[in-house]
Amino acid sequence: MRGVALVGAGVSKFGVRKASYRDLIWEAGKVCFDSIPGVKPKDVEGLVVGSVMPERTAFQSHISSLAAEALGIKPSALSARTEHMCASGTVGIRYAYAFIAAGLADLVMVLGVEKLNQPTGEEAILNMSAGVDREWEAAFGLTAPPCFALAAQRHMAEFGTTEEQLALVGVKNHNHAAKNPNAHFSKGATLDQVLGSRMIATPLRLFMCSPITDGAAAVILASEDRARELTDKPVWIRGTGQALDGFQLTSLHEDYAHWPALKRAARTAYAMAGVGPHEVDVAEVHDCFAIAELIAYEELGFCHKGEAGPFAAAGRSDYGGDVVVNPRGGLIGCGHPLGATGVAQAAEIFVQLRDAAGGRQAPGAAIGLTHNNSGMGEHVVMIYGRERA
């Protein structure tokens, strides 16, 4: 297979935006093209758009063509939309990667976009229930928070993880977001604020949860030769893995404190990249809720099973620790515009591995990882490197 690298990346402002679905596509597309002056829309051969529910939020299907036109791209090799709930963006990156590696295209943009906030707040939450099984779960009023709350309950019961340890993930990611001008939240948070925020689903409080956010992000992937022509700082895709354990809550591993699909996806990605978890310098993990970040530390191999709470409390997932996790602020601090999230994670690793992340820079970062999931049983892991191999 041919080598594939990121050569450009850009992210819109995330938040409750006074912007249309198309405005968000324009915003991310513009900053992405600005990041790589040698690439104009006419040069891009393919476009993959990760977007979960524009049918509900913008009454719009036919997304990849709409986005191509908005971006000025006339795809000649690949045009597609990916929908895989919260992991749609990274699933799109995998498609673009495979197309380029196989020699079917040389230059492909992946854009993720979501306009979740609606004039009526209740509708936004109703829409989120489309991501779980309508007949067997969503009909009961289920959305994501209670699912992850069940995982938190199990992790606390089994390993003694505390509310304070969960809260420290919220503190870290809110404080990281304060250094990211594109993040949904900009004020940071103290431990008292997180522990004092309102209860969503026991034991998860508001500041341990990602908010409902509008936003878009874009990256440009290039074949090895094209990447070297375009930039002297390509960021190489070194490994990728995806694994599914189950869709419905009742078909997942019986104990929600264990996410075997993430372990499998990570193992595949590490083997392909030829690196181990202790070589990862910077990671963007899917902290849709604080418990998800803790379980990710364990299943990604950053710490032993059951030790994520103390690992976080000791600062080992922050600057100066073993690995800097979620320097852009994660989903908790940046917000979670579903289809845009995985692409924004890649965009952060892109700037981190080019030593261009400014006040958020993880010093000397050479190996980066992204982890994107759609529910507790479906995981995608990407590993990026400053060097080709």
Partner 1 sequence: MTYFRAVDPFPLESADHTKLHEFYSHLASGRLVTTRCLDCRTTAWPPRGFCGECTSDRFEWVDLPGEGTIHAFTVQETGLPAGFDGRRVFAIVKVDVHRVFAVLVDADPLQLRIGQRVRLAPLRVADDPKGNARWLPAFTPT
Q: Which residue, 209 or 285, is less far from partner 1 as judged by CB? A: 209
Q: Which residue, 135 or 232, is less far from partner 1 as judged by CB? A: 135
The structure tokens listed for 233 are 């700082």
> Rule CB under 8 A: is residue 61 a binding residue for partner 1?
no
> Rule CB under 8 A: is residue 119 a binding residue for partner 1?
no
Distance CA 220, CA 154 (A): 40
Using CB under 8 A, pick the residue from 18, 42, 198, 278 that binds partner 1. Answer: 198
258 in catalytic set:
no
Q: What angle do CA 334, 337, 338 make, to 5 degrees?
A: 125
> Rule CB under 8 A: is residue 102 a binding residue for partner 1?
no
DSSP bridge partners of 17: none
Distance CA 320, CA 231 (A): 30
Q: Which of 176, 258, 336, 379 is catalytic?
A: 336
Q: Measuring CA to CA, which residue among 18, 24, 35, 10 is closest to residue 338?
A: 24
Using CB under 8 A, pick the residue from 200, 221, 243, 362 that binds partner 1. Answer: 200
174 in catalytic set:
no
Biggest CA pair distance of the chain: 56
Print the SS3 string covering 297-317.
HHHCCCCCCCCHHHHHHCCCC
> Rule CB under 8 A: is residue 208 a binding residue for partner 1?
no
Using CB under 8 A, pick the residue from 137, 298, 318, 348 that binds partner 1. Answer: 137
Using CB under 8 A, pick the residue from 60, 65, 129, 162 that binds partner 1. Answer: 129
Using CB under 8 A, pick the residue from 104, 139, 271, 356 that binds partner 1. Answer: 139
Q: How far is CA 336 from CA 192, 238, 297, 374, in A?
A: 24, 25, 20, 12
- So which residues are the catalytic ones? 86, 336
Instruction: By CB under 8 A, name the binding residues for partner 1.
Output: 56, 120, 122-123, 125-126, 128-129, 134-143, 145-146, 149-150, 153-154, 157, 198-202, 248-250, 254, 256
